[in-house]
Structure 1
Amino acid sequence: MTIRNVSEKILHGLSIRTDNETEMSAEKGKIGALWQQFDKVVDVDYQSGERVYGVYFDYESDAHGQFSVLAGFDGKNLPASIPLQKVVISTGKYLVFKHKGEMPQIAIDGWTEVWNYFSNPEAKHQRAYSTDFEFYPNYNEIEIHIAIK
């Protein structure tokens, strides 16, 4: 993992409200369905450099409270027929966890590493619970950015 300073970025996409307890249930989890819907209705132009992001924001409290998730992209040509939500990734310092491999396992492995790191009382950094995000440079790679204090 590395520390990265990130500049403000505006993204658009589809969002839901959930919590980690809900997401641990295969029957109740909402994030998988959110990504399926995003893939159906948003055409990301990878050839021109557009990329996909998963943004976690509007935290109620900490890892135990509710939060919002946006499946989005950094494209300039927004589809007029689909109402997309706008979210801003805040400028700040982020701890970055990188994984390569097959989806969805790399996302599962990445978030497991995040949870293990921040549940350790001796962790060097503390989460800010402001805006966190997943960046997908390509289909087999994920970078999870966690805002830190």
Structure 2
Amino acid sequence: MDLKRQQIESFTVSGVRVRTTNAAEHTPDTAKIGSMWGEFFSKGLAEEIPGKQTGSPVYGVYSAYESDASGQFDVTAGVAVNNPAEGFESIVVEDGDYLVFEAQGPLPDAVISTWGKVWSFFESNPQIQRRFVTDFEAYTGPESVSVYIGVH
């Protein structure tokens, strides 16, 4: 796996948000992330959110972690904005070091398999600690996504 470490400056994402757990996402009756993305795309929110930064990719931001990968967390589907967009949920992506996991292929399968690689990577590399503050997906093309994981 060809990983890179990248310093990210903080930025704000506005969009729609759900609170969930990884366990809930494994059961269709309790999964929330897929329907949130469905709403985001069906309503054309990538183009409707006011104050969108020019050229912003679509982001999926993970935040408000209760604990670690087993606890509750928020997921926000949105775009980078100059100022928090009124009428939408907003989250500031924290600045700092991130490991970048890149994926190509049909979505959402490519991003789901990439998260599997993220969890495996951290299980195999306990010396590298996740921050569990903000992590994010940047959708850079129709079949291209980069997952950024905040690390110490």
Q: What TM-score, normalized by structure 2, do the two folds share?
A: 0.87
Residue of structure 1 aligned with 2:98, choices 82, 94, 100? 94
Q: How far did residue 51 of structure 1 move?
A: 1.4
Question: Unaligned regions of 5+ residues in structure 2, if any?
Answer: none
Indicate conservation of the 8 Å contact 2:84/2:90, yes or no.
no
> Residue type matched to 1:136 in 2?
Y
Question: Unaligned regions of 5+ residues in structure 1, if any?
Answer: none
Shift in CA distance, 77/140, structure 1 to aligned 2, threshold 3 Å: farther
Structural RMSD (CA): 2.0
Partners of 2:123 and 2:131 lie apart in 1 by 14
Indicate conservation of the 8 Å contact 1:58/1:130, yes or no.
yes
Q: What TM-score, normalized by structure 1, do the two folds share?
A: 0.89
Q: How far did residue 124 of structure 1 move?
A: 4.3
Runs of 4+ displaced beyond 2 Å: 40-46, 75-80
Q: How does 1:6-85 map to 2 (within 5 A)?
A: 6-45=8-47, 49-75=55-81, 83-85=87-89
2:123 maps to 119
How many residue pairs end up in the alignment? 145
Deviations 1:1-29 (A, max 9, x none): 11000001111000011011101112211
Shift in CA distance, 108/90, structure 1 to aligned 2, threshold 3 Å: same
Partners of 1:103 and 1:57 lie apart in 2 by 22
Please state whether the residue corresponding to 1:74 is helix, strand or coil.
Answer: strand
Q: How far did residue 78 of structure 1 move?
A: 8.4
